[in-house]
């Protein structure tokens, strides 16, 4: 089978597993450090790194066709749009000084 040549080896899987364990230990350790406003950022960067490693190696995206790359990428792009537009709305409420119905309702 052709796929044997572009499948990851057992060694790759073990290396990926070790990396995920190290990152798990790192995120627990970092949670107890006083990182000020960067604590959340560090935790999310570590989580995103772990997720990427799982997607690329365990889920074989690295070894898949370019169509699949595009497909997966497009899916996560829509997720980013969901987060970015919603948080842009919440973050910018009140910037213009005009009372929105939301602020009137909580007053």
Contacts of 43 (CB under 8 A, 6+ apart): 27, 30, 31
Helix axes 39-53, 10-31, angle to 10 degrees: 170
Choose between 24 and 100: whose C-beta lies nearer to other proteins: 24
Contacts of 50 (CB under 8 A, 6+ apart): 20, 23, 24
Q: Is 20 in the site for other proteins (CB under 8 A)?
A: yes
Please pick, from the candidates 6, 22, 59, 62, the single residue that binds other proteins as defined by CB under 8 A.
Answer: 59
Q: Quick one: which of 6, 22, 28, 94 contacts other proteins (CB under 8 A)?
A: 28
Restricting to residues 61-100, which ones interact with other proteins according to CB under 8 A? 64-65, 67-68, 71-72, 74-76, 78-79, 82-83, 86-87, 90
């Amino acid at each position: 089978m052709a796929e044997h040549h572009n499948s990851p080896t057992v060694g790759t899987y073990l290396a990926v597993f070790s990396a995920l364990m190290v990152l798990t230990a790192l995120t627990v350790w970092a949670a107890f450090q006083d990182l000020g406003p960067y604590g959340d950022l560090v935790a999310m960067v570590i989580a995103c790194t772990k997720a990427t490693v799982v997607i690329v190696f365990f889920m074989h995206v690295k070894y898949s066709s370019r169509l699949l790359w595009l497909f997966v990428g497009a899916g996560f792009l829509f997720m980013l749009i969901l987060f970015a537009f919603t948080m842009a709305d919440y973050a910018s409420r009140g910037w213009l000084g005009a009372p929105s119905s939301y602020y009137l309702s909580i007053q």
